[in-house]
């Protein structure tokens, strides 16, 4: 994966959907915990916590909502950035072997976890968010049919 922004990285809805897919995979692993073929219960529980935090974060991004206050606190169900990157890297390795159709979305999630965004991009994003907020606060009246 190069340092360039992946093509679908701007599709926050796709990023949120992939984060939820990862969460569901971790929930399935958690349900299987305890069988002799699965990883340790601690690792499985950690992955599930991280996946839930990742999904909650991308839900808030896709809905243009503030970041949840607990997101970076593992004691409150959140996850450290290094944990998120490690889980995503593990999921990328799995996808490359078993689900290549998901590779681009997972690479995009990883890109966002490590991105250094130029100031111009931040300004443009801020302007877009302000315009959306203004549109929601001051909706245009609809034409009334006579």
Locate the domains of the chain by residue range: 12-137
Neighbouring CB atoms inside 10 A of 78's CB total: 22
Instruction: Using the structure block, give the residue that is written with the tokens 């290094």.
Output: 82
pTM (two decimals): 0.77
Q: Once rounded to an integer, what is the mean pLDDT over residues 9-25?
A: 94
Query: CA–CA separation, 26 vs 29, rounded Å?
Result: 5
Provide the terminal-to-terminal Cα distance of the chain, rounded to the nearest Å: 58
In this predicted structure, the answer to whether residue 4 has a pLDDT above a threshold of 80 is no
Q: What is the pLDDT of residues 99-124, one digit of tens each?
A: 999 999 999 999 999 888 777 777 78
């Amino acid at each position: 994966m190069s340092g360039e922004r992946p093509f679908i990285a701007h599709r926050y809805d796709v990023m949120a959907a992939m984060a939820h897919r990862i969460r569901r995979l971790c929930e399935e692993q958690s349900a299987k915990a305890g069988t002799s073929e699965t990883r340790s219960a601690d690792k499985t529980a950690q992955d599930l916590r991280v996946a839930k935090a990742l999904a909650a974060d991308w839900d808030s991004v896709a809905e243009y909502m503030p970041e949840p206050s607990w997101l970076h606190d593992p004691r409150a169900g959140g996850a450290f950035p290094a944990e998120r990157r490690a889980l995503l890297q593990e999921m990328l390795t799995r996808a490359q072997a078993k689900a290549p159709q998901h590779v681009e979305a997972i690479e995009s999630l990883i890109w966002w976890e490590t991105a250094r965004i130029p100031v111009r991009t931040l300004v443009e994003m801020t302007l877009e968010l302000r315009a959306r907020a203004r549109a929601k606060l001051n909706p245009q009246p609809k034409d009334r049919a006579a």
